[in-house]
Structure 1
Amino acid sequence: MTVRVEGGLMSVAEAADLIGQGGALTIAGDESLLSQLPRGQWIGGTTPYFMTSEGGQCRRDAVFVQSLDTTDVAVASYDVNTLANVLEDAPENGYSIIILPAASPVLAAYAFHAPDFPDMYIKPIVGWVSGVHLDELGERSAAVLDGHSGALYTDRAVVLHVRLPEGRSAMVHTVNLFEAGFGPELTFNTTSDSQDECFVDGVAGNLAEVIAVHGVGHSLPLVADYCGATVNVSIQSVDESEGTVKLYAPVFEGVRYRFARPAVDYPAQFMAAMPTHPGNLVFGCNCILNYLHSELEGRKTAQLTGPITFGEVAYQLLNQTAVFLTVERDD
């Protein structure tokens, strides 16, 4: 099997040299490193966690670069008022890579409304949610960078719109090792990332109580079938005294959820789930919750490398999922 590998974990100087060569790049790393990089055709987001060819790593002295092997791109940024235009701005034949800062209004807007954006599911879009070192949660803000202008944002999304030549097309892929497993069927009356009341097998109940009764750890997400795709919604925190549950993404009104079956050996299962011939892989990311709960530090996940993220985008916002994009020949 042959997979083109460019970029990877490198120093600021090495990344600056790649930027100077004029190609389009996505770059992940600590804010102090990203802010040293020169302007060019790139976007970036903050995270110190990476899946490298040597396995999962936490590094604050290097950045992770993914080269898109093209110069035919446009760099853009969007706030909550313009975000819905993101795919209308995308080329008819190509793909878009988006980075959104964690715990920001623009991320919330994407999480709740992306399925209804014009051209969604017609034009390919992938991406990730930037974050901070877990020891600094609540102390620092996640950020994204527009490499073209040099601007750093905590309240906007940055996007690379990539145009592909005739005869090539982009394919979005996800690797989700979780499936609906045990416990009652759960439905909700409201679309929200904070829930208390729910219906438990059709009977009114409380989500925090259900989690306590069934002994569900935070490592297991809620899982639902979204029009044929298995989608996770991960548990962020449970306040038993208030009876409330905070989620990393919204659950949607009327959709049926169950708790996931545990992944027994995540790296081994991931290796088995990756396609044998993934094609020309140009972008990839994996979730911080997989990194933590499946103990990926120092362990490899097949050909997929890239940032460890605080949410993933494969059209809509995902949790506890790996995402990658390939560029294929149409013949």
Structure 2
Amino acid sequence: MNQPATVFQGLVTRQQAVELINKGHALAIAADESLLKKLPKGFWIGGTIPYFMDRHGGTVTRDKLFINDLTGMGYSVDIRSYTTHNLPLLVKEAPDNGFSLIILPGGSHILADYAKNAPDYEDMFLKPIIGWVSGHHLDDGGSATPKVINGLEGELLENQAVVMHIGLPETKIAQLDIVNLFRQDEGHTFRFPESGFTAGDCLIDGKSGNLAQFLKQQDIDTRLPLVADYSGAMVNVSIKNSDSTKGTVEFYAPVFSGVDYKLAAPVADYIDAFMAATPSAGDSWVFSCNCILNYLYMELEGKQTANITGPFTFGEIAYQLLNQTLVYLSVEDQ
């Protein structure tokens, strides 16, 4: 396959998506479940979400699909589904030169497994792995379940991951990047006894305490995530819910035992800071996604973020599970 000058990314109608699938295009698709389940089988992977950044701005739609048409991107394209049993093979089966696009269902056991264990997969950080966590319309929280779909099989899946492995020619290289506004504040340090998506009792500045009670007592803005510093790389853990009565805090990504966390330093103007930190998408960009929390907290409906497009997701994958970030992948000449 020859690399196209640009890769099409954008919202399309169901009929347009069907035509591309029937022509054999390699597609990554994000859409409401009602649309995904009506698509024909073909060479595509997908996940449920109705929130998107289009060229005209942030939008919510159940009537259109966001596609990344990756046809012609590499010399090989391989679509696979993974369960918790064979998920560690993801890296081994990824191309030596290329990238893997993964979609995991939000709130699932396989997402929890990936979030906790992926950083320890052999050779994990040697091959670009990018992707997102599927979700649903926020009004449907009590009735909808995030799903993914392997277009070759056509079945909606609640507890499997779908991956498109794309091998690149030797003249090309994939580069994965992250935009993260948040840095650690200079305040308190938190350390948790166990890894997980829920925490309560912990060490606060080396002394026994409870995170949920601390957040209430200090009147903390829980839009600010916890941030860990991994040798200069800032990794957010966003707060989903805090219940001081029960003494528990739920997160969108796991905290890890033995790691020091701090609350993020406040950002004076969320959207201005994000725009200043975000590069303009060039022709080499082939995929990007942004966090649903950025969509909500920056009130991005109808607003543009440079010329970047893609789904707003329940989590971002840049090797490991991330929160409140923009992740993007470019393919450039070596």
Which range, TM-score by smaller chain?
over 0.9
Q: Map 1:1-331 onto structure 2 (within 5 A).
A: 4=6, 6-70=8-72, 72-275=76-279, 278=282, 280-330=284-334
- Amino acid paired to 2:88: A
Deviation at 1:303?
A: 2.5
SS at match of 2:91: coil
Q: Contact 1:172 / 1:325 at 8 angstroms: preserved in 2?
A: yes
Give me the whole-angstrom Cα distance separating, in 2, the residues matched to 1:218 and 1:16.
42
Question: TM (normalized to structure 2)?
Answer: 0.94
Q: Contact 2:79 / 2:163 at 8 angstroms: preserved in 1?
A: yes
Deviation at 1:257?
A: 1.0
Deviation at 1:269?
A: 2.1
Moved more, 113-122 or 14-23: 14-23
Cα deviation, 1:9-33, whole Å, max 9, x if unaligned, reads 1100011112223221110001110
Q: Contact 2:30 / 2:66 at 8 angstroms: preserved in 1?
A: yes
Query: Gaps spanning 5+ residues in structure 2: where?
Result: none
Moved more, 91-100 or 268-277: 268-277
- Amino acid paired to 1:24: A
Cα deviation, 1:261-320, whole Å, max 9, x if unaligned, reads 233333322222123575500001000111111111111111321011000000000001
Give me the whole-angstrom Cα distance separating, in 2, the residues matched to 1:324 and 1:250.
22
SS at match of 1:81: coil
Deviation at 1:219?
A: 1.0
Q: Contact 1:270 / 1:302 at 8 angstroms: preserved in 2?
A: no
SS at match of 1:300: coil
Cα deviation, 1:61-114, whole Å, max 9, x if unaligned, reads 111011124262111000111111111111111100000001110000001000
Q: Contact 1:27 / 1:45 at 8 angstroms: preserved in 2?
A: yes
- Amino acid paired to 2:19: D
Q: Contact 2:68 / 2:286 at 8 angstroms: preserved in 1?
A: yes
Q: Contact 1:312 / 1:322 at 8 angstroms: preserved in 2?
A: yes
How many residues in Structure 1 have an aligned counterpart in Structure 2?
328
Query: Gaps spanning 5+ residues in structure 1: where?
Result: none
Give me the whole-angstrom Cα distance separating, in 2, the residues matched to 1:99 and 1:250.
18
Q: Contact 1:41 / 1:73 at 8 angstroms: preserved in 2?
A: no
Q: Contact 2:241 / 2:250 at 8 angstroms: preserved in 1?
A: yes
Give me the whole-angstrom Cα distance separating, in 2, the residues matched to 1:269 and 1:53.
20
Deviation at 1:183?
A: 3.1
- Amino acid paired to 1:176: N
Give me the whole-angstrom Cα distance separating, in 2, the residues matched to 1:164 and 1:23.
17
Q: Contact 2:91 / 2:122 at 8 angstroms: preserved in 1?
A: yes
Question: TM (normalized to structure 1)?
Answer: 0.95
Give me the whole-angstrom Cα distance separating, in 2, the residues matched to 1:56 and 1:162.
28
Give me the whole-angstrom Cα distance separating, in 1, the residues matched to 2:13 and 2:205.
53
The alignment yields a C-alpha RMSD, in angstroms, of 1.5
